[in-house]
Structure 1
Amino acid sequence: MRAEAGSKRVVVGIDGSPASYAALHWAVDYARMAGAGVEAVAAYDVTGAIGWSAPAMDAALNAEEAKRTLSAEIGDVLGTLHDVPVEEHMVRGNAVQALITAAEGAELLVVGNRGRGGFARLLLGSVSQQCALHASCPVVILRAPEDSHDDTVAA
């Protein structure tokens, strides 16, 4: 998962949320200024992999689908015209551990805050909070742009 020794890296967590897309944009902009590459990291798990709560699934198929989804999300968010190298990494397991491990030796770890609506937006999500507490590099936590939140109330 690591780039060449001595090269600058910015790690960003992607989870499909608007906040993670904001984090991806921010990470690419920062990496451009810092002369760094970006490592986009997403984590997945296989339903029913632990315990008896769900029917068995094909782990290889699930991993391939997760990789395709990650590539599509990055392509949709950044388009094809970004000038910063972005490596995609899909990791099976816990998101916090995947991000903390990926961020070892990185310049920066960038994650989104998935809080929604009103007071909840003031709170850190569990992944962002754990990354801020345990990462070995500085951590930037970004909210989704205001227009991506649906704060309307149904009548």
Structure 2
Amino acid sequence: MGGIVVGVDGSADADAALRWSMAEARRRKAPLVVLLAWDPRHCPPAVTGMAGGVDVTAFEKAARALLDDCLDQAHEDTVGLRVEPVLVEDAPARALIGQSGDASLVVVGSRGRGGFTSLTLGSVSHQCVHHAACPVAVVRAGLMQNSA
């Protein structure tokens, strides 16, 4: 059976999903893939070039730094785990669904960095729940804090 794949994006729910997935990987003695997908078509203004185009190198560098930061913040929880950081140039939902064929579980935060924070599920978690090839756990930051 495959390992656990968790999607991260620096949001509170993704951070909670990362911590939850680490505990689950430890319980299952499974490897953990920590995936950050970046899509240059949806880049923030800080990485657009002077001519309005996307500075793909800067965007990739920022995505790598965000992935590293997510792992650094959870460093103590990674001790004893097989953790593989994966940076993918793709839409987040498509990247996670693509990884789901080799996984035993996909873990995502309920809401990411999108603009519709009042929704129960974000677009990535919604797509994963409906299209992943394995079970999907959707984690909310508030629930993680209350369960501690």
Count of residues in Structure 1 that have an aligned counterpart in Structure 2: 134
The percent of aligned pairs where both chains have the same amino acid is: 34
Displacement over 4 Å in runs of 4+: none
Query: Which of 39, 44, 47 lines up with 2:38 in the alignment?
Result: 44
Equivalent residues in 2 for 1:5-20 (5 A)? 8-20=2-14
CA distance in 1, matches of 2:118, 2:33: 29
Distance 1:80 1:135, change over 3 A: closer
Q: Deviation at 1:81?
A: 5.6
- 2:69 counterpart of 1:75: no
Normalising by structure 1, report the TM-score: 0.76
Q: Deviation at 1:44?
A: 1.1
Q: Deviation at 1:146?
A: 5.7
Distance 1:48 1:75, change over 3 A: closer
Deviation larger for 99-108 or 57-66 = 57-66
Q: Deviation at 1:111?
A: 0.3
Q: Which runs of 5+ in 2 are unaligned?
A: 44-50
CA distance in 2, matches of 1:110, 1:70: 16
CA distance in 2, matches of 1:10, 1:29: 11
Aligned position for 1:120:
118
Cα displacement string for residues 104-150 of structure 1 (whole angstroms, at most 9, x for unaligned residues): 120100000118xxx936x11111011000000000000013698xx
Aligned position for 1:25:
19
Query: Which of 96, 99, 102 lines up with 1:99 in the alignment?
Result: 96
Q: Deviation at 1:66?
A: 1.0
1:107 aligned partner, one-letter code: S
Say whether the 8 Å CA contact 1:14–1:20 is kept in structure 2. Answer: yes
Aligned position for 2:105:
108
1:120 aligned partner, one-letter code: S
Q: Deviation at 1:64?
A: 2.1
SS at the partner of 1:120? Answer: coil
CA distance in 1, matches of 2:11, 2:80: 23
CA distance in 1, matches of 2:34, 2:78: 17
Query: Which of 55, 59, 62 lines up with 2:59 in the alignment?
Result: 62
RMSD: 2.5
Q: Deviation at 1:102?
A: 1.4
SS at the partner of 2:37? Answer: strand
Q: Deviation at 1:59?
A: 1.3
More helix by percentage: 2
Q: Deviation at 1:74?
A: 1.4
